[in-house]
Amino acid sequence: MDVISVIRAKRDRIPLTDAQIDWTVDAYTRGAVADEQMSALAMAILLNGMDRREIARWTAAMIASGERLDFSSLARPTADKHSTGGVGDKITLPLAPLVAACGAAVPQLSGRGLGHTGGTLDKLESIPGWRASLSNAELLDVLASTGAVICAAGDGLAPADKKLYALRDVTGTVEAIPLIASSIMSKKIAEGTGSLVLDVKCGTGAFMKTVEDARELAETMVSLGTDHGVKTVALLTGMSTPLGLTAGNALEVRESVEVLAGGGPADVVELTLALARDMLEAAGIHDADPAKKLADGSAMDVWRRMISAQGGDPDAPLPTARHTHTVTAPATGVLSRLDAYDVGVAAWRLGAGRARKEDPVQAAAGIELHAKPGDTVTEGAPLLTLHTDTDERFAGALDALGSAWDIAAPGTTVDTPPIVLDRIA
């Protein structure tokens, strides 16, 4: 078996055999296949796809590359959630403690930023002292004591995916549906959760631009989960406009705490509650109202315990940027469009994301939104505020925002699509 033959087969649209897939994933994990060779194969998969058998086998090989966790000792049913990534998508932060407050155990293994989308771990690491890396024993201890944990997948859990995940980020292959599906589901199945709710995003700021592509990805992942005995549901949600009013790391943590305190942007609250209800349903918990747990402070209590259990200080001030730049509205009217992708790229260029897998991110970098589509804006009033620690980044960010918005005539009615577009089970 050799990797060149595998690359050529996929380049020429020949389905990979089970033996080729097993060997390739194992060899890449061991370092026998180089990053540049796996990059070529990933690009061939992006361009030519995989059939259902290939995806299932690739996922199984990713799972087999490492260990599997066992949460059978917990007194609560387990429920997890995964988002395919978007701009301003801080939903995991309020969602995990909320579902835990309702009686489930939430083992939320999360990732870092991919391209223009933010990463949950990058956001939480803006909290002083908070640790993303936990041993399996620590993970289980935090989960048992608080009901929720948000952390990085351990080195022993689907190690093939850990290498490939970082490589896809910097080689233009993030959008490959087979690689997205196998990446997500290999970690979630190996993680050992009993049920899983997927937030599959579509729109300009998502990796899946159309509802059709998002539905294909959702159906693929639901099938993979079901076949491995994990009750899996997917929501298709819109991502053409950023979620909430912030895109960045510390900025999104601050907004998440506002949601846990009973406030926050309406769209963030709506999606958090929608996902919480499906997670509780999948876990078999039918007597808890997540809206009440958000309003009465129960979810905030779990958040504080969870952050503290991972070494963080929930009362510590979050980092603030050394430099800010305000973008003002060029005209008076109604904001009819604010493109999520452009905002995400601008936040990335400000330092909130990474261009190479080894790059650090700035905790304080990002963008504040002062208006959303449908809002009235006034010429000269703040539209966006850009945050960064390195002011030479403003030029690139402003260039990315050059065509990010449209302003319609005063009094124009703007139709905003629903946040949840479909549900697949």
Over residues 355-384, the mean pLDDT reads: 93
Q: Is the pLDDT of residue 169 over 80?
A: no
Active site residue 168: yes
Confidence of residue 162 (pLDDT cuts 50, 70, 90): confident
Active site residue 387: no
Q: Is the pLDDT of residue 115 over 80?
A: no
- The catalytic position among 112, 163, 168, 304 is 168
- The catalytic position among 83, 126, 182, 183 is 183
d(CA 102, CA 148): 11
pLDDT at 351 (0 to 100): 95
pLDDT at 354 (0 to 100): 82
Q: Is the pLDDT of residue 283 over 80?
A: yes
Lowest mean pLDDT segment, chosen from 75-84, 150-159, 351-360: 351-360
- The catalytic position among 22, 122, 161, 278 is 161
- The catalytic position among 187, 231, 304, 354 is 187
- Pairing type for strands 405-408 and 333-338 reads antiparallel
pLDDT at 360 (0 to 100): 87
Q: Is the pLDDT of residue 127 over 80?
A: yes
Task: Write the class of the CATH domain 80-309.
Answer: alpha beta
pLDDT at 357 (0 to 100): 65
Q: Which residues, 6 or more positions from 347, have their beta carbon under 8 angstroms from its beta carbon?
A: 87, 116, 118, 247, 248, 353, 365, 366, 367, 397
pLDDT at 112 (0 to 100): 84
Over residues 126-144, the mean pLDDT reads: 96
Active site residue 186: no
Tens of pLDDT, residues 171-208: 989 888 899 899 989 989 999 999 999 999 999 999 89
- The catalytic position among 10, 81, 82, 162 is 82
Percent of the chain with pLDDT over 70: 99
Q: Is the pLDDT of residue 33 over 90?
A: yes
Structure tokens at 325: 């730049």
d(CA 323, CA 75): 48
Question: Residues 160, 61: contact at Cβ < 8 Å?
Answer: yes
CA 145 to chain centre: 25
CA 39 to chain centre: 22
Q: Is the pLDDT of residue 3 over 80?
A: yes
Q: Which helix (H) or strand (E) holds 151?
A: strand 148-152
367: left (phi over 0), alpha (psi -120 to 50) or beta: beta
Could you give the residue ranges of the DSSP H alpha helices within 242-339?
Answer: 250-260, 266-282, 290-295, 298-309
Structure tokens at 67: 């260990």
Over residues 291-317, the mean pLDDT reads: 97
Strands (E), 177-332: 195-202, 231-238, 246-248, 323-328
Active site residue 209: no
pLDDT at 358 (0 to 100): 72
Distances (CA, A) of 246 to 12, 128, 264: 43, 20, 11
pLDDT at 170 (0 to 100): 81
Q: What is the CATH superfamily name and number for domain 323-408? A: Pyrimidine nucleoside phosphorylase-like, C-terminal domain (3.90.1170.30)
User: Where along the chain do its domains lie?
Assistant: 3-49, 80-309, 323-408
Query: Which residue has tokens 């008076």?
Result: 332
pLDDT at 207 (0 to 100): 85
Active site residue 35: no
Over residues 21-41, the mean pLDDT reads: 97
Q: What is the mean pLDDT of the chain?
A: 95
Confidence of residue 140 (pLDDT cuts 50, 70, 90): very high
